[in-house]
Amino acid sequence: MTLPVQSTIQHPAIREQLERILAHGLFARSERMGRFLRLAVERTLQSRTDELKEYLIGVEVFDRKTSYDPRVDPIVRVEARRLRSKLQAYYQGDGRNDRIVFEFVAGSYAPRIHLKNQPDGAVSASPTPVTPAVPTVAVLPFANLSASCEYDYFSDGLTEELIHALTKVNGMRVMAWNSAVRLRGSDVEPDRAEARDRLWDRLQVANVLTGSVRISEGRLRVRAQLIEKETGIYLWSETFERQMRDIFAIQEEIARNIVRTLRIQLASGQETTSRAASPTTVSSYDYYLKGRYHWHRRTAADLARSIQYFRAAIESDPRSALAHAGLADAYTLEVEYGLTHPAEGIPRAKSAAERAIEIDPHLAEAYPSLALIRSKSDWEWEEGEALYRKAIALNPGYATAHFWLSGDCLAMLGRLDEALDEIEIALELDPLSSIIHETRGFLHLLRCEYDVAIRNYREILEFDPSSYRPYAAIGRALGLQGKYEEALAMLEKARAIEEEMPTILAAMGQIFGLSGDRESARGVLARLESRARERHISCTCFAVVHLGLGETEQALDWLERGCERHEMSVTSIATHPIYDSLRGAPRFQALLQKVRLDRPRLPR
């Protein structure tokens, strides 16, 4: 095969350029990204570009097992996009005067190597074949056409369960619920609003499943339609009229028809559908759907309401694994959001998760909450990671498992390259999830790449301007850059949307202290203390304000107290730059040992 390298460039010079790039800050802390670039360049120099296939790169660079299936796991495609972006950033920055250029074009994993300003001098190889795209589907929230809006929970629940069912189909990629729900009320007609079109572009799916639900006098009417997004052509349409008790059969029949329509084939040539949902009674499932409806809303009131419904679902059917998993998720979020004391919420969450796994060990949704508890609360990091990977093995399309593994486990351990890999997979599955986008920004913040983090946070505002989280995140990043006035302005915007969140108030207190406004910082401490008499407030809220005031010993007092309580927020001390000023203190090192995060960290 002809080399995609200018004949006038000597191989030693190319390898010298490779080492120069790999030593740069953009690549030095990205071990696997460096391995990717080195493999691609070396195989190109050896005239072996035909070997640069997704499978080989996945196994040799990203440590995937021999059973790795590029159709299901998009890690290589995701990282190839990141590699192109990093090379562009390098050549636009410190490498702008470099003589030799490495360039990757879309559709090929073999680089073009040429002299600067002479791209035409490189002989192009045929693009390395990329694994054929898998069928992609977005399941939009089914419209509730019932006489009462009280059945919104049911139509949303049916939508979510169809998503979960389809994610378990081999060879299909399905957009997650958080992305689908942002297109509520949308259709595929070309004359929709510009904002809707931007959301469609982010989804990057070929097919859309839409439909409606009507409930009347115990009967259920479901209309489902599979539409090709680009053309608006109806690929399949069906109406189901059944008794309410037939809801599980309807879900399975819809999933089966979608699979058949898109001709999803296993290697054996046999069609496959997902394993049937964990069996339960209709009344229990009805309560479960109501619980999930409120759980997705994520407010304090809705989380409490979801717990009521999950409990009712369990009372109706004690062997509903779905209901126990939902209850575990709700309890876990209450603790993580600081709404419940860990001593109260963690035992409840753990019990519910373990019961769900006992009932149905093949239910992927049962594992992430237990994984979060075992890692961030019990500090059993290896076991927590194994539980996340168990969930992913059971359902590779479950975005929440990839997302929590990234931000709540790998990031806390300082394995930031791997964390970025997982968050990119989560975004492939759920591209409109603002909280997953926020976590990607958070990972860059942990790497002290503050400008990159801020760009990520600002992108969220394009499709989720009503969320307080990106404003708060931008404020924290600006504070770490020393831009205190701008940081406070952003935190004020966040607080105007969500006034009751203590972490926003604490961040403001820290910025007040750092900027020299000690009186305002003291005022924040007083307000946090007042709130703590009425509800649980995380110890890290007090710690960061004392850090802003330069009161190291008091900050350590609060971190030690949070450690004694097993608060989840304490586990960020190993990697978050906000704690850099404490790293030389023996008390801080003792804290790292206690939470089992005393491993070498990435250099600042």
CB 1 within 8 A of CB 47: yes
Beta bridge partners of 5: 113
Quote the pTM value: 0.72
CA dihedral 340, 344, 347, 349 (to 10 degrees): -30
Q: How far apart are CA 346 and CA 378, in angstroms?
A: 10
Query: What is residue 128's predicted lDDT score, i.e. its pLDDT?
Result: 42
Strand positions, DSSP E, 554-593 = none
**CA–centroid distance for 27 within its chain:** 23
Q: Which helix (H) or strand (E) holds 210?
A: strand 207-216
Which residue, among 355, 269, 283, 352, has the nearest Cα to 315 in the 3D structure?
A: 283
Which tens digit of pLDDT belongs to each residue from 536-558? 899 999 999 999 999 999 999 99
CB 28 within 8 A of CB 37: no
- Residue 560 CB-half CA count within 13 A: 13
Which residue, among 153, 187, 180, has the nearest Cα to 166 in the 3D structure?
A: 180
Neighbours of 432 (CB within 10 A): 23
Name the CATH topology of 500-604: 1.25.40
Q: How far apart are CA 287 and CA 157, in angstroms?
A: 10
Beta bridge partners of 136: 173
- Residue 309 CB-half CA count within 13 A: 24
Q: Report phi then psi at 102, rounded to 5.
A: -100, 130
Spell out the residues 6+ positions from residue 51 whose beta carbon is closer than 8 angstroms to its own.
43
Q: Which helix (H) or strand (E) holds 513?
A: helix 502-514
Residue with tokens 């072996």: 48
Query: DSSP label at 273?
Result: -
Spell out the residues 6+ positions from residue 591 whose beta carbon is closer than 8 angstroms to its own.
556, 559, 560, 563, 570, 573
CB 178 within 8 A of CB 430: yes
- CA distances from residue 242 to 48, 161, 238 in whole angstroms, order as listed: 59, 18, 13
Q: How far apart are CA 423 and CA 420, in angstroms?
A: 5
Largest CA distance in the chain: 80
Which tens digit of pLDDT belongs to each residue from 152-195? 777 777 777 777 777 766 667 777 656 666 666 544 443 444 55
Q: Is residue 392 classed exposed, middle or buried when 0-12, 13-18 and 19+ CB atoms within 10 A define those classes?
A: buried
The yes/no answer on whether domain 136-276 falls in CATH 3.30.70.1290 is: no
Helix-, strand-, coil-residue percentages of the chain, each rounded to 5: 60, 10, 30
- Which residue positions in the chain have pLDDT lower than 70? 1-8, 71-72, 118-134, 168-171, 176-204, 244-280, 599-604
Query: What is residue 72's predicted lDDT score, i.e. its pLDDT?
Result: 64
Strand positions, DSSP E, 217-294 = 219-228, 234-243
3-state DSSP assignment of residue 242? strand
- Residue 186 CB-half CA count within 13 A: 27
Spell out the residues 6+ positions from residue 173 whose beta carbon is closer than 8 angstroms to its own.
72, 74, 134, 135, 136, 137, 205, 397, 428, 429
Three-class SS of 23-80? HCHHHHCCHHHHHHHHHHHHHHHCCCHHHCCHHHHHHHCCCCCCCCCCCCCCHHHHHH
Q: How far apart are CA 418 and CA 294, in angstroms?
A: 32
What is the bridge-based pairing of β-strands 100-103 and 112-115?
Answer: antiparallel
Helix axes 282-295, 300-316, angle to 10 degrees: 170
3-state DSSP assignment of residue 492? helix
Which residue, among 113, 42, 138, 64, has the nearest Cα to 421 in the 3D structure?
A: 64
Q: Which long-range contacts (CB under 8 A, 24 or more apart) does 30-35 make?
A: 30/86, 30/417, 31/417, 32/61, 32/62, 32/63, 32/79, 32/417, 32/418, 32/421, 33/79, 33/82, 33/83, 33/86, 33/417, 35/60, 35/61
Q: How far apart are CA 437 and CA 109, in angstroms?
A: 26
**Topology agreement, domain 136-276 and domain 500-604:** no
Query: What is residue 200's predicted lDDT score, i.e. its pLDDT?
Result: 60
Alpha helices in 337-446 (DSSP H): 342-359, 367-372, 381-394, 399-405, 416-429, 434-446
Query: DSSP label at 127?
Result: P
CB 166 within 8 A of CB 139: yes
Helix axes 502-514, 518-532, angle to 10 degrees: 160
Query: What is residue 170's predicted lDDT score, i.e. its pLDDT?
Result: 66
Which tens digit of pLDDT belongs to each residue from 421-451? 899 888 888 877 888 899 999 999 999 999 9
Give the start-to-end residue ranges of the domains of the chain.
11-121, 136-276, 500-604
3-state DSSP assignment of residue 229? coil
**CA–centroid distance for 172 within its chain:** 19
**CA–centroid distance for 252 within its chain:** 27
Residue with tokens 């859309």: 208
